[in-house]
Every structure is written in structure tokens, then in C-alpha cells.
Amino acid sequence: MKVVERKNIKVNYQSVLKEVRHDKNEAVFFNSADKTKETTMPYSVLHVSPPMKTPDFIHSNPGIVDNTGFLSVDKYTLQHTKYPNMYGIGDCTNTPNSKTAAAIAKQCYVLEQNLLATMAKDSPKEKYNGYGACPLVTSYNTCILAEFIYDGVPRETLPFNQARESTIAYYMKRDLFPFLYWNLMLKGYYHGPEFIRRIINPFAKKISGGNLHKLHNPAKQFNGVSKVPIRTEPEWELRSNLVLRSLCPAVGRISDDDDADDR
Ligand SMILES: Cc1cc2nc3c(=O)[nH]c(=O)nc-3n(C[C@H](O)[C@H](O)[C@H](O)COP(=O)(O)OP(=O)(O)OC[C@H]3O[C@@H](n4cnc5c(N)ncnc54)[C@H](O)[C@@H]3O)c2cc1C
């Protein structure tokens, strides 16, 4: 929200695009809480995100989808809720994670292991923890690298507070991630940043879908005021991150409004 305030951005929640009057450069929105309320806004550039849906051949098959038209799978094992010999990954499934390529990298490994188990007539053991990542570019040389698991719980890889804008995150997004996506992930060699976390924090506990509930209580994740999720790494993991952060202070440093309690 600090970035939003600094850039003087007015955020209009619950606004759903209804009509684009391109001849007048106007966009008409209705309020999702009260559909009778409409607002007309002028625009110079309009960036529209269309509502997400699955391809026809998926949502037109009621036996395999839920009532939103997304493939119905177990959110941890990724196995279909009705057909055990069917699995799903990616944007088309109804798992409540952020739909990102980063999530799919992680899901691929779970899929591979569980498919092999099913083919060997065993039950699926590997569990997806809802990991996803969103690099949010905030300027020509800064980015916020948001990483989280189910329920919006932060799951940061780097040894600094990733809720802040960072130059290193910007160059990762610009130069490292395209390489990672095209050369490693699409070829099945990249299963998420867990191995980086292991190098930085060799004693960190692995959070899979199975032990997720032991480490946090989703109901307690929000402070009720700003809806900002609180940190949930075990205390000792937080400490080792702090030590690393003090050893390499330049790594995470960034903008002037940077302060310790901005999450
Ligand atoms: C603008 C934008 C920016 C993004 N930025 C990021 C980012 O920075 N980091 C990140 O991690 N994620 C990002 N994402 C999300 C990421 O791109 C998606 O989560 C990911 O591509 C989903 O992969 P998928 O294979 O599940 O689906 P898709 O990539 O949608 O692949 C589905 C494929 O199925 C094909 N298909 C459809 N119907 C049929 C059919 N009948 N027969 C055969 N093929 C069919 C489609 O043509 C398509 O190629 C971004 C997405 C968008 C739109």
C-alpha cells in the first residue's frame, strides 16, 4: 500500500467493468456489492483483465469440473476428486492458489510423484502447499517479489524482507526468470525455489501441504485491520534470515520508505 500511496493511485475495490465506450474513451463499472451502482471513468490507456475461465472442452464436461467450471482436484495431492487416475495442474484447476507459472513449477513435481504412485497402485503422497509467486514491478528498477502459500501466508525465499521494493528482485524478474522459465521450467528441470531456500536456510522445515496446518492457523493470519498476512516462518528460521540479512545488508535495500514493520 505504500507504493500505491507514493504513486497517488486511487484503488477502486469491487469495481467490475461493464462497458467500454471507445468512441468517448470511457469505461463503465458496476459495484459488485450493489450492482445498481455504476461509475463512468474516463481513460487514456485502459488495461483490462478479462474474467478467467477454463477452455470449453473442460468446463463443458460437468463430470470433471466444479460449479465454477474449473477442474475439480484435491488442493494438496492434485488428484481429481472423482477420478483417481486423473490429475490436474495449472490455471485450469480449482486449487485456491494464485494462478502463476511459479505455482505450476511446484505443482509439476507433486504431479510427477503422485502420478507415478497411482500408476504403481499406491496412494498419492506428495502434497502441494499452494506456493505461488508474483513479481510486482513498481518502477524502472524496483520490484516486489511476493511469494506465498495457501491462505496468503508469505513464503519468502531470499534472506531479506521481500514485502519491500528491491532492486535485486527487479533484475531477477527482468533477467533471471525468463531464463528460468524457458530453459529450465518448460523442460521440467525447475520445481520452484525450495532448493535455494535449502542453501540459504539448510535447517528450514519443508512446508508441504501435509504439514501446512501445523505451522499456521489460517484464521489467525490476518490482523483484521489491513488484511495483511503476518509472517509465519518458525522463529529460528526468521532469526537465521535476519542474520543473513545483516551479513549482506545491500541485498534487500531499496526505497526511502523502507522500514522494519511495513508488513
Ligand atoms: C499478462 C500475464 C502475466 C503473467 N506473469 C506471470 C509472472 O510474471 N510469473 C508467473 O509465475 N506467472 C505469470 N502469469 C501466469 C502464467 O502465465 C500462467 O499461470 C501460466 O501460463 C498457466 O499455464 P497453463 O499451462 O496452466 O495454462 P496456459 O498457459 O493458458 O496453457 C493452456 C494451453 O492450452 C491450449 N489449449 C486450449 N484449448 C485447447 C484444446 N482444445 N486443445 C489443445 N490445446 C488447447 C491453449 O492454447 C494454451 O496454450 C502471467 C499471466 C498473464 C496473463
User: Are 47 and 105 found together in one domain?
Assistant: no
- The residue whose CB lies within 8 Å of the most ligand 1 atoms, and thus the one to mutate among 53, 95, 100, 138, is 100
What domain range is 224 assigned to? Answer: 132-247
- pLDDT value at position 205? 63
Confidence check: pLDDT of 204 > 90: no
Q: Out of 51-65, 73-87, 144-158, 224-238, pick the least confident.
A: 224-238
Is 178 near ligand 1, meaning CB less than 6 Å away? no
Length, in residues, of the chain: 263
User: Are 95 and 185 found together in one domain?
Assistant: no
In a domain, 127, yes or no: no
**Residue 69, phi-psi category: left (phi > 0), alpha (psi -120 to 50), beta (remainder):** left
Distance 119 CA to ligand 1 centre (A): 27
Confidence check: pLDDT of 237 > 50: no
Question: How confident is the model over 62-77, as a mean pLDDT?
Answer: 97
Q: How confident is the model at residue 138 (pLDDT cuts 50, 70, 90)?
A: very high
Q: From 119, 146, 167, give the residue that closes a domain.
A: 119
More confident residue, 212 or 260: 212
- pLDDT value at position 194? 84
How much of the chain exceeds pLDDT 90, in percent?
A: 64
In a domain, 73, yes or no: yes
User: Are 137 and 238 found together in one domain?
Assistant: yes
One-letter amino acid at 134 equals: C
In a domain, 190, yes or no: yes
In a domain, 258, yes or no: no
User: Are 114 and 194 found together in one domain?
Assistant: no
- Asked whether the beta carbons of 77 and 71 are under 8 A apart, the reply is no
- pLDDT value at position 231? 40
Assigned C-alpha cell, 167: 532492486
Distance CA 223, CA 229 (A): 7
In a domain, 2, yes or no: no
Number of domains the chain contains: 3
Confidence check: pLDDT of 168 > 60: yes
User: Are 42 and 102 found together in one domain?
Assistant: no
User: Are 109 and 181 found together in one domain?
Assistant: no
User: Are 76 and 23 found together in one domain?
Assistant: no
Q: From 70, 88, 119, give the residue that closes a domain.
A: 119
Is 102 near ligand 1, meaning CB less than 6 Å away? yes
Distance 135 CA to ligand 1 centre (A): 16
Q: How confident is the model at residue 209 (pLDDT cuts 50, 70, 90)?
A: low
Is 137 near ligand 1, meaning CB less than 6 Å away? no
In a domain, 200, yes or no: yes
User: Are 24 and 112 found together in one domain?
Assistant: no
User: Are 228 and 202 found together in one domain?
Assistant: yes
User: Are 139 and 230 found together in one domain?
Assistant: yes
Confidence check: pLDDT of 249 > 70: no
User: Are 21 and 71 found together in one domain?
Assistant: no
User: Are 186 and 228 found together in one domain?
Assistant: yes
Is 135 near ligand 1, meaning CB less than 6 Å away? yes
Give the residue ranges of DSSP H helices in the chain: 2-6, 56-59, 101-119, 167-171, 177-179, 194-200, 212-215, 235-247
Q: What is the pLDDT of residues 33-47, one digit of tens each?
A: 999 999 999 999 999
- pLDDT value at position 14? 93
Q: How confident is the model at residue 75 (pLDDT cuts 50, 70, 90)?
A: very high
- Which of 226, 224, 219 has its CA nearest to residue 261? 226
